[in-house]
Amino acid sequence: MKRNIIIDCDPGHDDAIEILLALKDDDANLLGITTVAGNQTVDKTTLDALKILSLAGEKNIDVAMGCPSPIIEKLSTAPDIHGVSGLDGANLPEPIRERDSRHAVDYIRDKLTEFKTATIVTTGPLTNIALLLTLYPEIKGNIDRIVWMGGSYSMGNITPDAEFNAYNDPEALKIVLDSNMDFTMITLDVTHKTLFFKEDIKKIEKLGTSVGKTVADLLNFFYKTYEDNFKLGGVPIHDACALVEALHPGFIKTQLLNVDVQISPGPSRGRTTVDFYSVTGKEKNTYVSTDIDVKKFKNYIFDTLGKYK
């Protein structure tokens, strides 16, 4: 049975691949895409989402633009990772349709009302989702779970303490953590295990399709910026991990734990504190990723992208 999902994202190379996978996953009923400022400004992330749908030849999926900035602090984009456009490295087709006129928050509310239930897969700052829960608390019962790519329990990638999505709107993350929702956090610790190497990228290019060629071009750019900045020897496809957890539970191991986030100014702003040993005695509020079957994950990406003709 297909699972209703809404993707809330900030394309971004890994978000783009997440969208392409969702369009070809037989278990996904993609209700729509909403965008938020993060990897780039919201006008760019919205344009990039529309371009990815054009690449896929998809004319029926809506894109609704969301919040242009975090709730409180200024936005920190990532041109050093994703380029000036947000999707540098490939020649993407122009959009074949206009974005939906509704704000992302209203769009998500409308889709949840129409379809009664859905999973929200959110792979950028949580600004849109926090506002949804704040403005329309009555819609909470229509959300079966929220799966987010963000946070960390051992490292940061924008500061020594903070993961990028958490850092960009920790107040929004705090709202979601305190919402009593079924919330899963796919952390940087686990997504960094999913490194794609040069031979993996070549395998995607050898699919021989326009989508495969474009994804390979995007990943080659992403690989270089990751090597320039982090020197991991490969490039992780972070956001696809959240999609896999939403659609195929079991690829990723999770543990129900208490999670909090640092919202005060200072060097630890955006840090996610994960209480593995229940030392605080606080209520367990988040399913936290602890491991992933990397072979199954990679094969899923190869097989699903291989459905494009």
Q: Which member of 13, 82, 192, 238 is catalytic? A: 238
Give me 219's structure tokens: 């990943």
In single-letter form, the type of residue at position 197 comes to F
What order do you get walking across the sheet with 28-35 strand by strand? 63-65, 28-35, 3-9, 118-122, 143-149, 183-186, 286-292, 252-261, 272-275
Q: Which residues pair with 28 in a beta bridge?
A: 3
82 is an active site residue: no
For 225, phi and psi rounded to 5 degrees? -70, -35
Alpha carbon distance 256, 288 (integer Å): 6
Q: What long-range pairs does 248-254 form, CB within 8 A, spacing at least 24?
A: 248/27, 248/300, 251/292, 251/293, 251/296, 251/297, 251/300, 252/186, 252/190, 252/289, 252/291, 252/292, 252/293, 253/289, 253/290, 253/291, 253/292, 254/184, 254/287, 254/288, 254/289, 254/290
Neighbouring CB atoms inside 10 A of 251's CB total 16
Grouping H, G, I as helix, E, B as strand and the rest as coil, residue 7 is strand
Helices (H) and strands (E) in the chain, counts: 12, 11
Q: Which residue has the tokens 């394309």?
A: 11
297, 244 Cβ separation under 8 angstroms? yes
Active site residues: 238
